[in-house]
Structure 1
Amino acid sequence: MKPSLQLRLSQQLALTPQLQQSIKLLQLSTLELNTEIERMLLENPLLERDGAEEGEDVAPMQDVPTAEAATAASELSDRHANGEEDFEPQTTVEMPDTITEAYDSVSDDDIGEAAEWRAEATGSGSGSNDSDDDSDFQEFQAASTSLRDHLEQQLALMPFSDRDRALIRLIIEALEDDGMLAQELEELLPLIPEEWEVELEELVTALRHVQHFDPVGIGARSLQECLLLQLKARDKSPTRDLAMGIVEHCLEQLAARDFVKIRRRLGCDDDGLRAAHELICSLNPHPGAQFAPLEARYIVPDVIVRKYRGAWTANLNPEAMPKLRIHRVYADILHQNRGISGSLSTQLQEAKWLIKNVQQRFDTILRVSQAIVERQRQFFDHGEVAMRPLTLREIAEELELHESTVSRVTTQKYLASTRGIYELKYFFGSHVSTDTGGACSATAIRALIRQMVAGEDGKKPLSDAKIAEMLGQQGIVVARRTIAKYRESLNIPPVSQRKTI
């Protein structure tokens, strides 16, 4: 064998840097896109935000350049290159006028939904016996005071000895974020210096002191103890005594809603059991959760859907779109020195690519969103029960895009409408065949299941087989196991746990 040279022709798909950047920007969420743009703004001096976005006055072209621009001009004047490259004095590159519509249709609804979500997250919704003022005070506490600080403040006002304070503080530090004590007291003994000679009984006493702190139920070692502490703090009444008996002896039967065994063991009637059950449901199983820090997740919708002249249309949200342009001073410098090449010329081209790719990203999002809205207009009129089955392939074939492109567009991109804010992925889902040869969306089936369970008789709740039978009467053929899977995805308990007295 001897070495030889051969020529072969082959075709390869090469991704240019511009195409790679376009794909990268397309799959980023709005927050990730802003982060990427901020990074590019720091690295590329030829790229800047449009001054109108931030309410700033943009310096006119004839103004004196900044010190940085003057330094760049001096640098360019001293450098020489052999090749020539034309640089257009592109002073402003803006997004199209078709996407500058004002965002004013859903702001009030979003504010109301955010207020409701915060009320539920802070525990000031249903099941609380406090007044509105107390709820507001709890929200203020949750935002400004941690659980341990709240307990330390109470400890500072009580006449304990230094030894007792140290033991109580040890118990406080061992509490979980929800106020429960997950560790055994025996496990805390090795944490105490041996010269203190602390006995287990002293730790038990310190725990009893903590359990008298606010909020009621703090320092409990189990759910049963937490509920009993809260019931003991209530005024004496037959209902409270029965509720304590249920928690102490029949908590497992209560969780399984086996009211027959509870009545047989405690010898109570339906009215008394119903009142005790309501009292237990009003208790807080996580008394320290109200002091947990709230992690607010902000979603900026990329698309806003409105109904105009009887038709649903999608429009880009200008609040989610960064407004970028080329730095005018640097553009003039490069235009005046056309024969000079270097890092600034490369950065100018990169800035142009970024502006073009950002614009293309939002154009693609708008196209896909409008196609989804046209397919799912019944959803915007009637809700989830009217959701149609839809796949990525259908949208890709309609818009002549690849499925992977549609998948990137619909991931972590959100749509705002009068029905709420949804991820674009929400409108795609599997389907179930019907008797007429059509198809029904899985989202619509879940909505039907939720409606059936909401309207069922609490004494005779619907089983999964019964729900499947009722759907079959409507022409939707669904197996019982599928019903169970959909029910679990909706966090609906099984029939045995939905029984009422």
Structure 2
Amino acid sequence: MLSLQQKLALQQKLSPQQIQYQKLLQLNTLALEQRIKTELELNPILEETLDEEIDLEQLEENPDETNDKLDEEEENISNKEDEFDIEDFMNDEVDAEYEIERINKSQDEEFIHPIAHQRKSLRENLIDQLHMLDLSEEEIILGENIIGSLDKDGYLKTDLSKIVNELKLFENINVTIEQAEKVLAEIQKMEPVGIAARSLQECLLIQIRNSSFDPYYSYLAEKILSEHFNDFVNKRYETIQKTMNLSKETLKTTIDVIQKLNPKPGEGNIDSEEMNQITPDFIIEKVDDNYIVTLNDKSVPSVTVSKTYLEMLGANKRKRKISEREKETHKFLREKFESAKWFIASLQQRRNTLMKIMQAILEKQYEFFESGPKFLKPMIYKDIADIIGMDISTISRVVNGKYVQSPQGIHELKYFFSEGLSTDSGEEVSNKHIKELIKEICENEPKDAPYSDDKIASILQERGFHVARRTVAKYREALKIPVARLRKSL
């Protein structure tokens, strides 16, 4: 039986302004710079200003037509940058459907990459080297396919027979496995030597065979890598020494030679145009006895509203009779004006929010900035949210992917957040402090008899930190410190 029912429910929906503000909030400085440049291209109402402060008042005022200004809503944007507040625009009645469509039309906006300098990637350099070799056209194409199949560390994980078969099937190019092996061998001798290896063992062997080390130790190193590779990677040096009948000093010198080789010739940047470079979003400097926080946004363009387009908007509004085309122009300019207004307000609110959060982190972690990592305090997102009166999700957006440069170095903001552990004295310490201690213990342990996880836990226990062996193992792995057996040196 059908029946009608009434149901009262509360739903929370984000306005277009809030969506835009949140997207801007999570961008780092480099991504924000590109985002602003994109907005300048898309919105003719916006223009870049050379002044550090955006003075909309001087752009909107018209001394000759003071009485013909735009309506009160448009006059509100005449306030200077420091008077903007995103809340002032949260309830504006404008064409919201247009703004939502404009904001959401591209899902790639959150993944804007900074503009890089013109520079060839490692893969492109390899292809250039390939074209300098004395190879046939078919072999050049084969080599390009091999280079195109390399992974981020420069290894060839695709079977050569598969590459040969795909060339025959899709490009009608017939090459043999023997030709593929020949071309691969040529590529492996390119710079960096060892690129396109199919295993770590092959990579190291290629490098040692093309090295300029002492011939005797190169011979021993090649013998170890080819005949005793498993013993080498598992650091069973006593077995190698006994089997090859070497003195301890000779074995140590040979192992040192092997350790100078590069296990990852691609270095994770085979497609990168340049090495990863961190641009800090904040800079903290100590002036006298005080720490000063500044937002590192000098390269970010300042934007304002174009006076020319505002005058066009005002002119259309003053006309008593306007054509359909003029109506469309007025609607277009009005939409772009509202979009520009929200964008400028969102930028200023983003700036204010970032500064509040960084200042709160500085106050909470003052001892870290003063004395170093060992003085890092336990802190969670809620601690900062409570200090500045904002939601935890806002803190998360700001913290993610942003960096600060201080006298203690460059750190991601996430670094300052960690859970706490209690000491014998009842003091709360950050788990990052425990990681620093584990790192310190491993650095100072006897190299010929490294400490086990149980031993490290016992040392921490003696210092007043109650940490279980499995926790030590977890933190050690997070620090990328190998197990004791693999830390052993001759």
TM-score if structure 1 supplies the norm length? 0.72
Q: Which amino acid aligns with 2:298?
A: E
| Distance apart, 1:34 and its partner CA | 4.0
Mapped pair 1:246 → 2:236: no
Mapped pair 1:266 → 2:255: no
2:126 paired residue number: 147
Change (3 A) 1:423 1:201: closer
- Which residues of structure 1 form unaligned runs of 5+? 64-76, 78-83, 98-139, 157-161
- Secondary structure (helix, strand or coil) at the match of 2:255 reads helix
In structure 2, distance between residues paired with 1:404 and 1:85: 36
In structure 2, distance between residues paired with 1:406 and 1:339: 46
Query: 1:381-407: per-residue Cα shift (whole Å, max 9, x none)?
Result: 222111110011111122222222222
Say what the alpha-carbon RMSD is for the aligned residues: 4.3
- Among 421, 428, 431, the residue aligned to 2:410: 421
Q: For residues 183-202 of structure 1, what are the structure 2 equivalents within 5 Å?
A: 190=165
In structure 2, distance between residues paired with 1:53 and 1:337: 31
2:95 paired residue number: none
Q: Which amino acid aligns with 1:419?
A: Q
| Distance apart, 1:286 and its partner CA | 4.6
Q: For residues 94-173 of structure 1, what are the structure 2 equivalents within 5 Å?
A: 94-96=80-82, 146-155=125-134, 166=138, 170=142, 173=145
Change (3 A) 1:182 1:93: same
Change (3 A) 1:61 1:407: closer
Q: Which moved more, 1:374-383 or 1:224-233?
A: 224-233
Change (3 A) 1:60 1:355: closer
| Distance apart, 1:35 and its partner CA | 4.6
- Secondary structure (helix, strand or coil) at the match of 1:247 reads helix
The answer to whether the 8 A contact 1:387-1:444 is kept is yes
Mapped pair 1:46 → 2:24: no
Mapped pair 1:371 → 2:350: no
In structure 1, distance between residues paired with 2:37 and 2:363: 35
Q: For residues 396-435 of structure 1, what are the structure 2 equivalents within 5 Å?
A: 396-435=385-424
The answer to whether the 8 A contact 2:367-2:375 is kept is yes
- Which residues of structure 2 form unaligned runs of 5+? 63-67, 84-118, 320-326
In structure 2, distance between residues paired with 1:215 and 1:4: 74
Aligned residues: 432
The answer to whether the 8 A contact 1:306-1:312 is kept is yes
Q: Which moved more, 1:491-500 or 1:430-439?
A: 430-439
The answer to whether the 8 A contact 1:240-1:276 is kept is yes
- Among 353, 366, 370, the residue aligned to 2:342: 353
The answer to whether the 8 A contact 2:59-2:306 is kept is no
Query: 1:280-338: per-residue Cα shift (whole Å, max 9, x none)?
Result: 11223455669934344454433221212312232223426542222223334555676
| Distance apart, 1:248 and its partner CA | 1.8
- Secondary structure (helix, strand or coil) at the match of 2:350 reads helix
The answer to whether the 8 A contact 1:92-1:328 is kept is no
| Distance apart, 1:274 and its partner CA | 0.3
| Distance apart, 1:361 and its partner CA | 1.5
The answer to whether the 8 A contact 2:418-2:432 is kept is yes
The answer to whether the 8 A contact 2:382-2:392 is kept is yes
1:230 paired residue number: 207
2:108 paired residue number: none
TM-score if structure 2 supplies the norm length? 0.73
In structure 2, distance between residues paired with 1:154 and 1:186: 22
The answer to whether the 8 A contact 2:59-2:305 is kept is no
The answer to whether the 8 A contact 1:90-1:326 is kept is no
In structure 1, distance between residues paired with 2:413 and 2:470: 28
1:120 paired residue number: none
Q: Which amino acid aligns with 1:154?
A: L
| Distance apart, 1:416 and its partner CA | 2.2
Identity among equivalent pairs (%):
33
Change (3 A) 1:20 1:148: closer
2:270 paired residue number: 292
Q: Which amino acid aligns with 1:259?
A: Y
| Distance apart, 1:202 and its partner CA | 6.6
Change (3 A) 1:227 1:173: same
| Distance apart, 1:91 and its partner CA | 8.0
Query: 1:165-213: per-residue Cα shift (whole Å, max 9, x none)?
Result: 8558646743554665555565566578799998766766666666666
| Distance apart, 1:277 and its partner CA | 0.3
Q: Which amino acid aligns with 2:133?
A: Q
- Among 298, 306, 324, the residue aligned to 1:327: 306
- Secondary structure (helix, strand or coil) at the match of 2:345 reads helix
Mapped pair 1:472 → 2:461: yes
The answer to whether the 8 A contact 1:392-1:406 is kept is yes
In structure 1, distance between residues paired with 2:166 and 2:341: 63
1:132 paired residue number: none
| Distance apart, 1:437 and its partner CA | 1.6
Q: Which amino acid aligns with 1:426?
A: Y
| Distance apart, 1:450 and its partner CA | 1.5
Q: Which moved more, 1:240-249 or 1:288-297?
A: 288-297
In structure 2, distance between residues paired with 1:5 and 1:284: 71
In structure 1, distance between residues paired with 2:362 and 2:351: 16
In structure 2, distance between residues paired with 1:367 and 1:442: 25
